[in-house]
Structure 1
Amino acid sequence: MTISHRFIETNGIQMHLAEAGSGPVVLLCHGWPKSWYSWRHQLEALAAAGYHAIAPDMRGYGQTDKPEAIDQYTMLHLTGDMVGLLDAVGVDQAVIVGHDWGAPVAWHSALFRPDRLKAVVGLSVPFRPRGPNRPSTVWPRTETQRWYQLYFQTPGVAEAELEKDVHHAIKTTYFALSGDAAVENLASLSMLPGEGGWLDGKPTTQSLPAWLTENDLEFCVEEFKRTGFRGSLNWYRNIDRNWELLAPWSGAKVQVPALYIVGDRDLINAFPGMDKTILNLKQSVPLLRETIVLKGCGHLTQQERAKDVNDAILEFLKSL
């Protein structure tokens, strides 16, 4: 199976796509800090099963454009990029799959345009209805700790930490968030020491877990050495802005068939209120077919458990 690459114009930016196979389109949206490459196993499996799998480098990542202005990374831009992608490749409809930050893009793409995104699969992050409060006002903070998204808000700060040693930053992040780190207190992964950074206190490893080869790691490291982290971190800097922009959809439900997959060791499980959100997901996603919980799996769902994720996605696609 060959993965081909091309560039398209969408929503005012140039976007890099990795593609495999032919048939109905399945659109794969990656999260932070990743690239199209995090879908390498799914591109292969989907192509072999008769689908046209498309994994873009999302806005701000890889070989896709990285607008300077922070306000160019709102949820309306990110979902607009996906609809524009379908236009650019000449496709009316697709199934959209998202992991980590790509999951909210997938959920909201399906929420906004069910005529174009006819089904959705969310990995790690469930659909979260818009809450009553501006997000930054309810993020956890104590005298000695702060929520990692607070740390990511000030431009340049997290960039400086992560870009100092990109290899260490990527390797530590991938290992710490995976099920292999076997972190007992998942909440500790998203709470940073008061004056510390993202990497402080994260578990590290000398040897790589079985699902990540040296070549895989090097590919990701080289991408971020080349691009830096600013574009990817700008997604976090729009969380309050997204809350304002999404006011018209307050209370709206995702009305397409859906599948949700999460690891039982995913730090997302320890996010405030997430247990209730996952438990009640069918209320805001009425056509949710199933919630699959992968034992021993951490946050890097489709890489840690490639076969399980591939099987679940393919079964879901067949049922549509």
Structure 2
Amino acid sequence: MHSSSTKSVRAGGINIAVRVAGTCTKSNAVLLLHGFPDSSKLWDSQVAALAAAGYYVVVPDMPGYGQSDKPSDVSSYSLKHVCSVLCNVLDALGVQAACVVGHNWGAATAWALALQHPQRVSRLVVLSVGHPGVGASAEPRQRAHWWYMLFFTLPGAEAALTANGWALFKQVMGQGCSQQQVQQYISALSQPGALTAALNWYRANTQARHFGQTQPWPVNKQSRVACPVLGVWSSGDTALLEAQMTESAAYVAAGCWRYVRLEGVGHWIPRDAAQQLNELLLAFLREGEACVAPGQGGAAAPRQLSKL
């Protein structure tokens, strides 16, 4: 059994609580990034499996969550700033590059990290959330599923979510979470500043104009991820449609895109399909396929990983 420890890292002017497990070597780091409304606890099953397999696992409470600071200014939650914070965290731990795994807002951050700081991302695993270029020009049906993202940006969102014993929050979260899980979220978000911090992720990164945009992002060197990428989507996800993940292939360098669809699994893949995800992560980490350099053709068609 590999135990983990938590340390506080000063990064980007705030304190970030970081769980680490395993021993760091030159190229064995895995960075796990959670989203709304989770904490590093989302990855408990993955931390154990990856550390046991010899990887150095780095799991921060993202800004605004868990034991990390909850700055009041919205700009602290912009993906650009959060990526800078995460680079500071890696520097403090002596990690030059890592396989980055993200879920929900953690996946959006992982995409941004690979685009803005490609030297820090050796491999990329994105759960549920596709490339931002796909999201920006998503079809109307997908944008309709994202109504809550715009709602969370409104000034009165906190009051609406917590009214009548958190009734609206329970309604939104109850589709994919047990009552116990929802209550744990409520307990965490009831801490001073926690709910506003969580919503500030949406306020900092969600723009209403994207919901009516029809002009797609250009596929170019600036938007294309050059490292190996594994996209994982689950058929039980009620907020994110499959197309926004599969169409991400166009934004990944030729030969680098892998795609896996999990049947009968809800949005919270790390928790609800822990064993399946662990097997996928270990297979992808060990795959070691060379990535074709950007600019040598379009992205490969989505395909499954080899049978485990």
TM-score normalised to structure 2 length = 0.78
The residue number in structure 2 matching 1:204 is none
The residue number in structure 2 matching 1:263 is 234
Q: Distance in 2 between matches of 1:151 and 1:158?
A: 7
- CA 1:176–1:241: 2 relative to 1, 3 Å: closer
- CA 1:217–1:54: 2 relative to 1, 3 Å: farther
- Structure 2 residue 195 is matched with structure 1 residue 229: yes
Shift of 1:162: 3.2
Cα distance per residue 1:41-98 (max 9 Å; x no partner): 1111111111111111101111111111112211111111111111111111111100
Cα distance per residue 1:164-193 (max 9 Å; x no partner): 477767765544135xxxxxxxxxxxxxxx
Calculate the aligned-residue CA RMSD, in Å: 3.1
Q: Distance in 2 between matches of 1:80 and 1:105?
A: 11
Specify the code of the residue in structure 2 equivalent to 1:147.
W
Cα distance per residue 1:250-292 (max 9 Å; x no partner): 952011111011101112444xxx62x3333221012444211
Specify the code of the residue in structure 2 equivalent to 1:284.
Y
Q: Distance in 1 between matches of 2:51 and 2:17?
A: 19
Cα distance per residue 1:124-151 (max 9 Å; x no partner): 1011317777x9x99957xxx9921221
Q: Distance in 2 between matches of 1:217 and 1:140?
A: 25
TM-score normalised to structure 1 length = 0.75
User: Any unmatched runs of 5+ in structure 1?
Assistant: 179-207
- Structure 2 residue 90 is matched with structure 1 residue 91: no
Q: Distance in 1 between matches of 2:153 and 2:264?
A: 31
The residue number in structure 2 matching 1:120 is 124
Q: Identity rate of aligned residues, in percent?
A: 31
- CA 1:50–1:242: 2 relative to 1, 3 Å: farther
Residue 175 of structure 2 aligns to a residue whose secondary structure is: helix
Q: Distance in 1 between matches of 2:209 and 2:14?
A: 20
- Number of paired residues? 273
Shift of 1:219: 4.9
The residue number in structure 1 matching 2:270 is 302
Q: Report matched runs for 1:269-284 at 5 Å.
A: 269-270=240-241, 275=243, 277-284=244-251
Tell me whether 286-295 or 104-113 shows the greater mean CA deviation.
Answer: 286-295
The residue number in structure 2 matching 1:197 is none
The residue number in structure 1 matching 2:161 is 162
- CA 1:58–1:160: 2 relative to 1, 3 Å: same
Q: Distance in 2 between matches of 1:59 and 1:241?
A: 23
Shift of 1:30: 0.3
